[in-house]
Each structure stands twice: as C-alpha cells, then as structure tokens.
Amino acid sequence: MLPAAFWTHLPNLCHFDRWGRTRWSISSTKHSQILISNPASSVTSDIATVTMTSATAAPVLKPSSRPTPAPSSPSLWAIPPPLQKLFNHFPLVTLDPNPLPARSQVLTSASDTHPTLYVFSSDVDALEGKPSINPTCLKWQTLLRLNHLPFLTLPSSNHASPTGALPFLLPPRNLSSNPIPSASIPAYISRFTSTKPPIPTPREEAYLSLLNPLRLAFLYTLYLTPEHSPLLQKFYISPSTSSPLLGTVLQSQLSAAASAAVLQSLGLHPQTGTGGIDGEELYAEAAEALESLATLLKESPTGWFFGRERPEEFDAGLYGYVGIIMEYMDNTPGGRLGQLVRNAGEGVLVVWWEQIKKEAWGGGVGERGEMMRSEEEKYDYIIQCVRN
C-alpha cells in the first residue's frame, strides 16, 4: 500500500524527449504544457505515463488523453518544421504482422476452448475429425465421442508424446498445459461427465485379454502381408515422409517392429523374423477370440458388452480394431479379418459394429471436428497442406 501523502502530493513525473533530455511534470495540468511539440515524441511520454498509471493504480493520467503540441519557441535543437513535416510521413506503410503458419493457427485458435487429441492420422483427416487409422487412437477417439466431449484431433507421431505412445490429450490452454496420457483419459471423461470411472470386473479383464489375439492378427495383416503394404503406405508412411528411400526404410522398420511384437507375444525370440510366425494359426486364434466375444455379446440384453446401458471402454476398445478392419480389410484381397468379423456369432458383431458406428460417428464424420471453424478456413488449410 502506498502512503496517503502519495495521493495528495502527486509524484513528479519524469519524461524524456527524443534527445534524451529530461522534463519534469508536476501534475496532470502541467503535463500537456511541458511536452515537446512533436506529436511523434509523445510515444515515449505515453509509455512513461502508462507505466506510472499502472504503478500507482490511480487515474492520474489517462493514456487516452493525448497531449496537445505545446507552442514551442524555436531553439537550436528543435527540428525545422519542413523537415519535421517530411519525417511525419514515415513510415509510409506499416504492414500487418505475419500470420502464424496455418497449421498452428488452427491449433491456437481452437485449443483455447477445446482439448486436442493427438492421433495417427493424415493432416486432412485429422482436421475433419475422421477416425484414426491406429486401433489405440481410434479406441480413445471413439470413447471421447461416445461421451459427447468435444475435442480437436491433430496428426502426430510417437515422438511427440510424453509417454512415447499416441494418443494423448492436450487440455485447453486455459485449463492446464499438462498432457493427459491415454491411460488417464477415463479419469478425464469421468470428470467432465460426472460419472464414476468404471472399475473392470475380473470377467471383463479376462475378456479384455481376447483383444490380444485380435491385435496379433491385425498386426500380421497390416504389417506383414504384402497385400496390405499399400494400406500401410497410406496409413503411416505417406504422412511421415515423401521420400521413397526413407519410406522404404520406414516400412522395413515398421514391419520389423510388428514382427517383433507378434513373436514376443507368441513366446519366440523377438529377432526370429517372419519365419517364426504362422499366419494361419494367428487367424485361427483371432477367429476363436471373435467367436467368444460374439457369444458374450449375445448374452447381453442391451446390445452392448456386459449388459451396459451405453457403450463403454470395452466396446470402444474392440471398436478400435473392428472399425479399422471393417473399413479397410473387408472384401479386399488378403482381407481375411473382415470375413472373420462377419462370421463371428452369425453376424452379431457386425450388427454391434454398425450400432456403435452410428452412436459414435453417426450424423456424418467430423461434425464436432468442424464446428469451430468455417468452411473457408478449412479450405485454406487443406490447400496449405497440399502445397506443403
């Protein structure tokens, strides 16, 4: 707090003119008189005034009250009026500050209000809020949509994630700057929907492990069957690099990582390579797993797993795989997984898939992704992406 005398005896205000000479003003009434005539120099005084005003928190000097040029006597140091006039014309043009890149503008304009989910996707698909092409990302994306929480999606890679794996959720900037790893998304959802985060029952956990054989068959199909290398190219390689050489290296790395993951789950040495993998057995195992899941689904009266009223994390987890399988690996050469899903439980899983698709992605893909920006903006952004 300032002493009372501060308010009664106004402090001396110190100004510098453009040549660095100090000028003192005692009060606001004198203020206008001692300022030098040059309106351009009022910039400095304005700054000083504003600083003082904010420091004293008193409306001593209003920054809006622009000082009028005082009638000044010509001095040795004063600038001749014609020159002054000339100088006043400058700068001739002040350009607007450069806008941020289109990509970051989308990010900054929206992330004030909405969280952003970073997923594997292409630029355009992410902008439209389309389903991701990665099972784990699709799972969390679907779960957030099922809970009607608005969010943006941005394409990213594992290197960007604090946990080393996508997806992760970046909350709106005004809330927090800490990213939320995928494991904490249920807690995030329960905070915003004011429901309790569900604790899986032992039986649910057992059935959850049935996603593993499905995952192995999925990895085998996408990464290790030559028929699907165009799909792999489209999903992971084209968004990362346009160089064919780097693409080949990346593809071989991805395939090696996938075969290591499959081998590890089968109990073989991770470096055994594809020679250790029996694709037929993987598909047979996945078929049994899907059949068991379909049997479980048939028991449920509501049409969702474990008799829940609404689709929950388990449904979203299975949809992560089934959604991609039915979208890209059904009725294609080598797309046996789609057929397995269709056969499971005499089509129960297909019915379930259509339902959950309608529930989460119904009403057009990306309705929520589009709602915070206009069509032109989106068009500009897409053009920008294509040019780059």
Partner 1 sequence: MTLQLYVWGPAFGLPSIDAECIAAIAYFAQTTSKADYQLIQSSPSAVPTHHLPALHDPSTRTWISGYTSILRHLQSQPPPSFHDATFPSATPSIQADSKAYTTFLSTNATPLIALYLYVSSANWAASTRPAYSKILPMPLPWTEPAQLRQTMSARAEHLGMSSLDTDVETEKEEQEAAAASRAGWISIPASLTRGPNSVGEFMAPEDKRRIRLEGLARDVLDVIAEVEWVKLTVGARCAVLGWVSLMIVDEGVPRRWLAEVTRQRYQGLVEFVEDFGRGTFGAGPRGWESLPWVEEGTEAHSFGLKLHRRLGHGVMYEVPWIGEVWRRWWAGRRRRELLEYKGIKQAPSWDSLVFTGLGMATLTMGAAIWYWRTLPRVGALVQRWEQPVLTMGGLGAAGAFLSSVFDEL
Q: For residues 13 and 289, which CB has a smaller minimum distance to partner 1 in the complex?
A: 289
Interface residue with partner 1 among 268, 351, 372, 382 (CB under 8 A) is: 268
Q: Is 76 exposed, middle or buried (0-12, 13-18, 19+ CB in 10 A)?
A: exposed
Distance from C-alpha of 264 to C-alpha of 212, rounded to nearest angstrom: 12
198 binding partner 1? (CB under 8 A): no
Residue 130 — φ and ψ, nearest 5°? -75, 160
Task: Provide the H-helix boundaries in the chain.
Answer: 4-8, 28-34, 42-56, 81-88, 102-110, 123-127, 135-146, 185-193, 202-208, 211-219, 229-232, 244-266, 279-299, 313-328, 336-343, 348-361, 367-370, 375-387
Provide, rounded to whole angstroms, the least separation between the CB of residue 200 and partner 1: 9
- Choice between 300 and 355, CB closer to partner 1: 300
CA neighbours closer than 13 Å in the CB half-sphere of residue 238: 13
- 76 secondary structure, DSSP code: T
Measured between alpha carbons, how far is 28 from 18 in angstroms, rounded to an integer?
A: 20
291 interacts with partner 1 by CB under 8 A: yes
Q: Which residues pair with 181 in a beta bridge?
A: 168
Task: Using the rule CB under 8 A, give the single segment among 150-158, 229-237, 279-287, 361-369 that binds partner 1.
Answer: 279-287
> By CB under 8 A, is residue 274 in contact with partner 1?
yes
Q: How far is the CB of 279 from partner 1 (least distance, A)?
A: 10
Is the CB of residue 320 less than 8 Å from the CB of residue 138?
yes
In the DSSP assignment, the letter for residue 152 is E
- Contact segment (CB under 8 A) with partner 1 among 45-53, 163-171, 247-255, 296-304 equals 296-304
Handedness of CA 117, 297, 361, 138 (dihedral sign): positive
Residue 293 interacts with partner 1 (CB under 8 A)? yes
Q: Which is nearer to partner 1, 144 or 290 (CB)?
A: 290
Nearer to partner 1, 222 or 286 (CB): 286
* Selected binder of partner 1 within 288, 327, 330, 377 (CB under 8 A): 288
Per CB under 8 A, does 285 bind partner 1? Answer: yes
Q: Report the amino acid identity of residue 126.
A: A
> Interacting stretch for partner 1, rule CB under 8 A, among 65-73, 155-163, 167-175, 293-301?
293-301
289 binds partner 1 (CB under 8 A): yes
Residue 165 lies near partner 1 (rule: CB under 8 A): no
Candidates 276, 339, 343, 357: give the one binding partner 1 (CB under 8 A): 276
Q: Which residues bind partner 1 (CB under 8 A)?
A: 202-203, 205-207, 209-210, 212-213, 264-276, 278, 281, 284-285, 288-289, 291-293, 295-296, 298-299
